[in-house]
Structure formats: structure tokens, C-alpha cells
Amino acid sequence: MKTVSKEIIDQTWDRVTRTLPENVQPFIDRLMQEQPFIATYLLAVEQSEMANEDRGTLMLIGVIILEAMSSVNPALRIVNGEDLDAAEAANFEHLEKLGDDSEMNFLPSVAQMLASYNQTPLLGSVIEALMEGNEDEPDLAGDNVGLALLHLKTVIDCLDQ
């Protein structure tokens, strides 16, 4: 799939977030209709791994991911549960491998992964959104930021195939 440009991501982000909170339902309905497994996956993650006050964030970012990727490829494939399970397992495996690397190899491994990742601008925007308010002190970011990123990267990986 073609890489989603930073310009398209920013336009999509502005368009979706400008409608908040009262008019976001049509976007969520579209996600549920076009990608029901992704919608269910994100809802399940929010219910099982996020505090009540943080719920809704993954679904909103998932909507933005779908909208941005659809603007580049209007005929996105329908993701199923097996796709999500396989992508999530691959992401956890990659994360474990990074954890096994020495500190000296960690940053080069992450840089190499980002250099070869097809949707780096989109992943970067997701990271920015998850880290919002904690850019200067990332250690103060919420406990679930890493897992949220892993799950959202899983969604991007599935839609990017």
C-alpha cells in the first residue's frame, strides 16, 4: 500500500478531531461497518487494558487510522480476527526481541525498524498523540502508552497489507 503522507494524516486528524465530541459517531459507525474486527479489537483492548478515563482514545485513533489509510486506498481489505492475531503476535515478538537487545543495540534496532516501515508517518503521528502532554518528560506518560502503541501498530500493519 502507498505510504500515507504527513499532510494527509494532519488533514485527517484535524477533520476528525474538529467534530468532537458530539459528531464523532458517524466516524465510529464507519469503522464498525467497514472494519468490524478492528472495531471489536480496539473496544476489547480499551475494556481490558485501559482505565475508564482513558477509554475512547484507541477507538478515536483507530478511526483516524482508517480515515487516513482509506484516503490513500479507498478499497482497503477487510481485516479479520486471524489477521489481527498474527500481526499482534509479530509485534509482541519484535518487542521481546528489542527487550533482549543490549542498550547499545536498542536504538539502532528501533531506527532500523522505522526506516523500513511503510507507514512511518502514520505511526509517528500515533506516537505523538499517545505522548501528548508528556513530550518533555516521556517517563511521566501513562502506563498503557506502550501497549496502546502496540495495538494501534497492529491495526496499521493489518490495513497496510
C-alpha dihedral sign at 47, 50, 51, 52: negative
pLDDT at 24 over 90: no
Rounded to 5°, angle at Cα 92 from 87 and 95: 125
Helix (H) or strand (E) holding 81: helix 81-100
User: For the whole model, what pTM was predicted?
Assistant: 0.87
Using 50, 70 and 90 to split pLDDT, how confident is the model at 94? confident
pLDDT for 30: 93
- Predicted confidence (pLDDT) per residue in 128-161, tens digit: 888 776 555 555 556 677 788 899 999 999 999 8
In this prediction, residues 43-48 reach a mean pLDDT of 92
Cell of 24: 464523532
Cell of 109: 534496532
User: What does each C-alpha distance from 12 to 18, 66, 76, 100, 102 come to in angstroms?
Assistant: 10, 10, 17, 37, 38
In this prediction, residues 62-70 reach a mean pLDDT of 96
